[in-house]
């Protein structure tokens, strides 16, 4: 199947998310109660409380928000990167949605993310609805038959039908001899870098590295040469 996909028709993407509020104490009262209920199912030790695990809230679309979506497209042997980022989630989601509606609406065009079907795609769709934004056709799965879905997932492709294991992007990079995207921060650091260090630019760079790695892994899946650093460009 992958050998029949033109990489120029694929938009590679990654998102970075954070808790919607800087701390548990900032949560509105109704959301505190709702997070308390959610947190009870997330406790891993006797020391865990709703407050001290609030940094995990960004994983859940009902309690988090998107702060960056980085995308990449391969054209003429070069990878072109662009990022949508803002403290105002509505702004970045609107810009991202407009880009998809304008440039990624044809049946042969695809989106590709790592663990995208479990995380990135539903998270984006849900946050768009919460912000009153109509999801673009490529993200709207309602009523679509399986073969009409235009979403690829590098983790799912790696499974070869296996349902048991999660394989991280970092591990796949190591397996294929690709430079690790986690050479600065990792996903668990994002909330701290955003809310405490106030360094959104650093998070954008991290997100872009993940997109580069997804592209390189996809090329490996197609048994093709990966791109050199000279062929990676940021718009």
**Sequential DSSP letters for 133-189:** -PPPGGG--TT--GGG--EEEHHHHHHTT--S----HHHHHHHTTPPPS-SS--GGG
Q: Which pLDDT value is given to residue 202?
A: 95
Q: Which pLDDT value is given to residue 46?
A: 87
Q: How confident is the model at residue 165 (pLDDT cuts 50, 70, 90)?
A: confident
Domain assignment present for 14? yes
pLDDT tens column, 167-183: 999 999 999 999 887 77
How remote is the C-alpha of 229 from its chain's centroid? 22
Domain assignment present for 128? yes
What are φ and ψ of residue 84, in 5° steps?
-110, 115
Average pLDDT for residues 46-50, to the nearest whole number?
91
Share of the chain above pLDDT 90, in %: 84
Domain assignment present for 27? no
Sign of CA dihedral 141, 147, 148, 154: positive
Q: Which pLDDT value is given to residue 216?
A: 97
Domain assignment present for 36? no
Cβ-contact 14, 210 below 8 angstroms? yes
* Region at 115 (left for phi over 0; alpha for psi -120 to 50; beta for the rest): left
Domain assignment present for 49? no
Q: How confident is the model at residue 64 (pLDDT cuts 50, 70, 90)?
A: very high
First to last CA, the chain: 30
Average pLDDT for residues 59-80, to the nearest whole number?
97
* CA separation for the pair 220, 91 (Å, rounded): 35
Q: Which pLDDT value is given to residue 14?
A: 97
Q: Which pLDDT value is given to residue 161?
A: 84
Q: How confident is the model at residue 60 (pLDDT cuts 50, 70, 90)?
A: very high
Domain assignment present for 226? yes
Burial of 88 (0-12, 13-18, 19+ CB in 10 A): exposed
pLDDT at 184 over 80: no
pLDDT at 72 over 90: yes
Provide the domain count of the chain: 1
Domain assignment present for 38? no
* CA separation for the pair 35, 42 (Å, rounded): 10
Q: Which domain holds residue 134?
A: 2-20+63-234
Domain assignment present for 52? no
Q: Which pLDDT value is given to residue 82?
A: 97
pLDDT tens column, 6-26: 999 999 999 999 999 999 999
Average pLDDT of every residue of the chain? 94
Q: For strands 110-113 and 10-19, give the pairing.
A: parallel
Average pLDDT for residues 45-55, to the nearest whole number?
92
* CA separation for the pair 35, 57 (Å, rounded): 8
pLDDT tens column, 190-234: 999 999 999 999 999 999 999 999 999 999 999 999 999 999 998
pLDDT tens column, 82-96: 999 999 999 999 999
Average pLDDT for residues 110-116, to the nearest whole number?
97
**Paired tokens of 214:** 């997804």
What are φ and ψ of residue 77, in 5° steps?
80, 5
**CATH number reported for the structural domain that contains residue 215 in this entry:** 3.30.420.10
């Amino acid at each position: 199947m992958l050998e029949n996909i033109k990489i120029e028709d694929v938009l590679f993407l990654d998102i970075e998310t954070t808790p919607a509020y800087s701390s548990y104490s900032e949560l509105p009262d109704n959301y505190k109660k709702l997070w308390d209920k959610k947190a009870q199912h997330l406790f891993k030790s006797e020391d865990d409380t709703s407050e001290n695990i609030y940094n995990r809230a960004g994983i859940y679309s009902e309690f988090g928000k998107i702060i960056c979506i980085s995308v990449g497209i391969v054209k003429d042997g070069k990878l072109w990167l662009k990022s949508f980022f803002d403290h105002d989630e509505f702004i970045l989601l609107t810009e991202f949605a407009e880009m998809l509606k304008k440039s990624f609406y044809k049946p042969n065009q695809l989106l590709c993310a790592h663990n995208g079907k479990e995380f990135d795609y539903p998270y984006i769709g849900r946050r768009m609805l919460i912000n009153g934004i109509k999801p673009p056709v490529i993200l709207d799965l309602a009523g679509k038959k399986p073969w009409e879905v235009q979403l690829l997932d590098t983790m799912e492709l790696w499974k070869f039908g296996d349902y048991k294991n999660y394989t991280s992007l970092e591990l796949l990079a190591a397996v294929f001899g690709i430079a690790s995207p986690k050479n600065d921060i990792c996903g668990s650091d994002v909330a701290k870098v955003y809310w405490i260090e106030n360094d959104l630019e650093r998070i954008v760079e991290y997100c872009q590295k993940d997109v580069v790695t997804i592209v390189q892994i996809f090329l490996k899946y197609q048994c093709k040469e990966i791109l050199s650093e000279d062929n990676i460009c940021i718009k």
